[in-house]
Amino acid sequence: MPDRVRMPGPAALLDAALGAWVRRFRSLTLAAALLSGLGIAVDAILIEPDWIEVIRTVEYVPGLRPTAPDLVLIHLSDLHVVRLGVRERRAIARINDAHPDLIVISGDLTRFGTRREDLEAFLGALHARYGIFAVWGNHDHWNGTAETWGPSALARAGVTLLRNENQIVRVPGGPIVMAGLDDPVTGHDNLKAAMGGVARSAVCLLLSHTPEIVRDLGNWDIDLVFAGHTHGGQVRLPGLGALVVPHGTRPYVEGWFDVRGDARLHVSQGLGWSMIPVRFFCRPRIDVISLRGGVAPVSRPRHGIVQRT
């Protein structure tokens, strides 16, 4: 007689079905993880580094005449120009479309391998009614730009380089002192020299590559400090924020801050990238700041309304 076929019981059938479901779930989970990783990589490497964000804010400056028109200032930092590429061309268009009165650049204009003609072309294409002012950052010194061709390139592009010095700019709201620190990271800064001859009654804007210098502004009467260096963290995770920032800058990753001496600090998220060519949840940024004379209304944030585009 033929052997009788033994049919699996309900428990065995259930166990087999669960095993198949678990294997399928693991496969789907692995596929989803791989797709998510691929999506993150595409965003961080191919999309965000060239996806420029424009932030518009209003900052009240008591020393400027309230009846004068707003002074449109654009704050740029950490350009890290390598070539005149997609990001740089987009930045030029957005900056000039804002019709700035002043442009300030708080260091790290270059990265290793930057060509003089590309930096000159980028800076020379920018337009500001009352001038463009810049200071050096640590990368500009590390790669030798600050000590070799950099100063002449900036001069040809129409940019005023401030190396521990200041210059008066006359605008409708009254004279403004633009002061600039050479890079603090590499030890080239001298605040006393940068503030030399500045009257306490003057409206003073200080440029520095790194923001932590605000911990020691002494008795200098400085209204606004513009800094960069942090890149906004460059890579952020939702709920966690910036994963890595330069030493000493954690309290000032990006945005506006009240600091000692009644000054205000603005930290740029930067336009370029450093070390690795990625940005994640941290787009390149152009800050368009309307400096408005007078004291901010009590019912409004001191820096006014933030607009993102």
Q: Can you tell me whether residue 110 is helix, strand or coil? A: strand
pLDDT at 86 over 90: yes
14 and 61 part of one domain:
no
What is the predicted pLDDT for the residue at 15?
A: 63
pLDDT number for residue 35: 47
DSSP notation for 161-189: E-SSEEEEEEETTEEEEEEEPPPTTTT--
Residue 134 has pLDDT above 90, yes or no: yes
Same domain, 172 and 193: yes
CATH code (residue 277): 3.60.21.10
- Exposure string over 44-55, b if 16+ CB within 10 A, otherwise e: beeebbbebbbb
Q: What rounded mean pLDDT belongs to the chain?
A: 88
Compute the average pLDDT of residues 32-55.
71
Range of the domain at 20: 10-50
Q: Work out the number of other CB atoms within 10 angstroms of the CB of residue 271.
A: 28
**Domain shared by 57 and 46, yes or no:** no
* Residue 197 pLDDT > 80: yes
Cα–Cα distance between 68 and 21 in angstroms, integer? 71
Number of domains the chain is built from: 2
Residues 247 and 280 in one domain: yes
If you write DSSP's letter for every residue of 56-95 in order, what string do you get?
EEEEEETTS-TTSPPEEEEEE----BSSS-HHHHHHHHHH
pLDDT-based confidence at 293, cuts 50/70/90? Answer: very high
Could you tell me the pTM of the whole model?
0.86
For residue 270, give both structure tokens: 């930067």
Q: Is the pLDDT of residue 16 over 90?
A: no
Is 70 contained in some domain? Answer: yes
Q: Looking at per-residue confidence, does 256 or 13 come out higher?
A: 256
Q: Which of the pair, 41 or 186, is modelled with greater confidence?
A: 186
List pLDDT tens digits, range 150-184.
999 999 999 999 999 999 999 999 999 999 999 99
Residues 44 and 96 in one domain: no
Q: Does 65 share its domain with 32?
A: no
What tens digit of pLDDT does each residue of 204-233 get?
A: 999 999 999 999 998 899 999 999 999 999
Average pLDDT estimate for 189-197: 97
Q: Judge contact between 101 and 68, C-beta under 8 A.
A: no
